Amino acid sequence: MMKDSLTLLSRIPAHPDSRCWFLAWNPTGSLLASCGGDCSIRIWGKEGDTWVCKSVLGEGHQRTIRKVAWSPCGNYLASASFDATTCIWKKNHEDFECAATLEGHENEVKSVSWAPSGSLLATCSRDKTVWVWEVDEEDEYECMSVLNSHTQDVKHVVWHPNQELLASASYDDTVKLYREEEDDWVCFTTLEGHESTVWSLAFDHSGERLASCSDDKTVRIWRQYKPGNEQGVVCNGTDPTWKCICTLSGFHTRTIYDVAWCQLTGALATACGDDAIRIFEEELHSDPHQPTFTLTVHMARAHSQDVNCVAWNPKEPGLLASCSDDGEMAFWKYQRPEVC
């Protein structure tokens, strides 16, 4: 049962002879952007039953492209590269043109994320900083803040789905949350608990919970508690407290590189260095402040090497994309098991 719930739809050599590091669905779920160690971005679209490469964006970066992110309107794609720059690509029908190159980080850019408003962008780097950029009506990008809170390499940044809140994950084993204060951004809390590098983050659909995954082989679920909350969780002034309400341990045998929370169904998928994809579901009558997550899928050998990324399609429930160090990309269909 744990295996049949996830069916392989197709497997594609997205970045042959290289590593596929990351995948991102566009907001309508019709296109998938992949990026990798061959310094290129590929845009994939479905033609009938097959996924076809629609464009190759190979001229923007000189080194590995680690992550890509679509703007909320779907007209722009940002790429974060080891060459220390972030490229902003503008979509023009089937073509993409490099509209801007954001410079400033001292070394590899590890992640880029677009705020839901579309007017803010965040990047992070091995230089330990998180940068917040402002986009104006003329597509001009300006650095608004340089955040120096982490003490090591910052691996991932992601915006809250409906609040002006930013989260970052780091090699320093922590997760930090930031909010706007006057014309600047400040870190208002640090989530501690992981025992090694935190590789990725994912908010749930409501934004009330945050999932983090780590080299310590666990996934942690954090919940937001606002001042005056009924559970009696202590808050610092007007800032909410984020408390760890669940730890998924004993399931993964190696580093967990990515976690993805399906915005449609609530299913949680993980990408692991043991070549497997796992999916967890919250038990139906679970206490929201002490939830139980059950493993519904353990797809061993999902890829022939480390799985680097898992991404749920934003419009089609159960459609999951994954990619690996072996350069391949795979598409899966997930069906939640009956009794869970």
What residues make contact with other proteins under the rule CB under 8 A? 19, 37, 63-64, 66, 82, 107-108, 110, 126, 153, 155, 171, 196-197, 215, 253-254, 273-274, 300, 304, 306, 325
Angle (CA) 131 137 141, round 5° = 25
Q: Nearer Cβ to other proteins, position 263 or 305?
A: 305
- Least CB distance to other proteins at residue 304 (A): 8
- Least CB distance to other proteins at residue 172 (A): 11
Token representation of residue 71: 């703007």
- Is residue 293 a contact partner of residue 221, using CB atoms and an 8 Å limit? yes
Q: Nearer Cβ to other proteins, position 92 or 107?
A: 107
Residues 192, 131: Cα–Cα separation, whole Å: 22
Residues 174, 279: Cα–Cα separation, whole Å: 24
Task: Give Cβ neighbours of residue 173 (< 8 Å, ≥ 6 apart).
Answer: 192, 194, 195, 196, 197, 198, 214, 216
Q: Nearer Cβ to other proteins, position 282 or 306?
A: 306
- Is residue 331 a contact partner of residue 9, using CB atoms and an 8 Å limit? yes
Residues 207, 214: Cα–Cα separation, whole Å: 20
Only one residue has tokens 């679509």, namely: 70
Residues 121, 113: Cα–Cα separation, whole Å: 6
- Least CB distance to other proteins at residue 126 (A): 7
- Least CB distance to other proteins at residue 295 (A): 19
- Least CB distance to other proteins at residue 6 (A): 19
Q: Nearer Cβ to other proteins, position 81 or 241?
A: 81
Q: Nearer Cβ to other proteins, position 163 or 196?
A: 196
Token representation of residue 220: 């942690």
Q: Nearer Cβ to other proteins, position 108 or 281?
A: 108
- Least CB distance to other proteins at residue 33 (A): 19
- Least CB distance to other proteins at residue 230 (A): 40
Burial of 30 (C-beta count, 10 Å sphere; 0-12/13-18/19+): middle
Q: Nearer Cβ to other proteins, position 172 or 204?
A: 172
Closest by Cα among 298, 293, 268, 275 to 283 = 293
